[in-house]
Amino acid sequence: MKELLSPINDYVFKRLFGESPDLLIHLINDLRYDLPPITSLDILNPNIEPSELNGKCIVLDVLARDVEGHCYNVEIQVRKYGSWHKRGMFYLARTLSNQLDAGQDYQYLGASIGLHLLDFDLFDGSDAERQQAVWRFEMRDETQPNVTLGNILQMNLIELNKADRLGLNSSPLATWIIFFKHWQEEFIMTDVTYEPVKKALNRVKELSADEEARRLAFVRERALRDEVSFINEAKREGLKEGLNEGRMETQRETALKLIKLTEMDDAMIADITGLSIPEVAELRTT
């Protein structure tokens, strides 16, 4: 039997949940178990364009809308970088703004909900942060958090590695964690009885037996590895040149290379080079 494809490969993730609305419904409900469950979804971007597989910084997310008009942006993220949260908030706000046509009443605006599964630890500064793996961010008052503007903008995060280390209470969400972290370990997965996760694992097995799916998953994985290598090389080159030349000029040259050779947004390039976002934006026009 061939080695199973990884469900944290974003191509596999999108095939898995973008083609199976019922699985996506279970994943959303299990992650937001304390909120009213959703019962049906329409997948808004089920297709995967060839350009997305080689696009270094394109995220193969799953965008869906429920019957009440609320939009869900669901993604797996394996790379940690300093501006990650800014990108997440940007796409969340854009999903919200794209809901209404010009002149449409705001009362028809649904919630924009981000669900991000992170294969890295995002919050690890304090002891309290290291003991929490599931997070929800909403619009709340700083001094009176019980006073809210509703959940029209909501970002849900789960740190998969931390959740696996901490061990969640027996629950559907805990079973999803087992799936994402231990899908290859048969002796663990045979004990899983939760039907949605069993179905997800069977779907991964089907994809793993498909030669074209295996090829495309590899193409996507290679593109992400190339991105990491390019970023690291740009940093090393920038540091080396910076010892001999002016730091600002080196930052600009590195940023120009990233603009030309990658599809990174301005925030990511600014985070890597040390320039400001407006400085990076100005370089795009030169």
Q: What is the mean pLDDT of residues 8-33?
A: 93
Within-domain flag for 57: yes
What the block records as the tokens of 260 is 């030309």
CA pair distance 247, 55, nearest whole angstrom: 29
Is 189 a residue whose pLDDT tops 80? yes
Within-domain flag for 136: yes
Provide the domain limits for residue 247.
214-284
How do residues 93-127 score in pLDDT, each as one tens digit? 888 888 877 567 777 788 899 999 999 998 888 99
* Mean of all residue pLDDT scores within the chain: 82
Check whether residue 114 and residue 67 sit in a common domain.
Answer: yes
| Structural domain total, the chain | 2
Check whether residue 205 and residue 218 sit in a common domain.
Answer: no
Within-domain flag for 4: no
**Pair 116, 157: CB distance under 8 Å:** yes
Q: What is the mean pLDDT of residues 211-231?
A: 75
Check whether residue 93 and residue 14 sit in a common domain.
Answer: yes
Contacts of 16 (CB under 8 A, 6+ apart): 7, 23, 200, 203, 204, 207
pLDDT of residue 168: 79
Check whether residue 128 and residue 242 sit in a common domain.
Answer: no
Check whether residue 115 and residue 164 sit in a common domain.
Answer: yes
Percent of all residues in the chain with a pLDDT value above 90, rounded to a whole number: 42
| Residue after which a domain boundary falls, among 167, 191, 209 | 209
Within-domain flag for 3: no
Check whether residue 74 and residue 88 sit in a common domain.
Answer: yes
pLDDT of residue 243: 40
Question: 145 in helix, strand or coil?
Answer: coil
Check whether residue 174 and residue 238 sit in a common domain.
Answer: no
pTM score, two decimals?
0.78
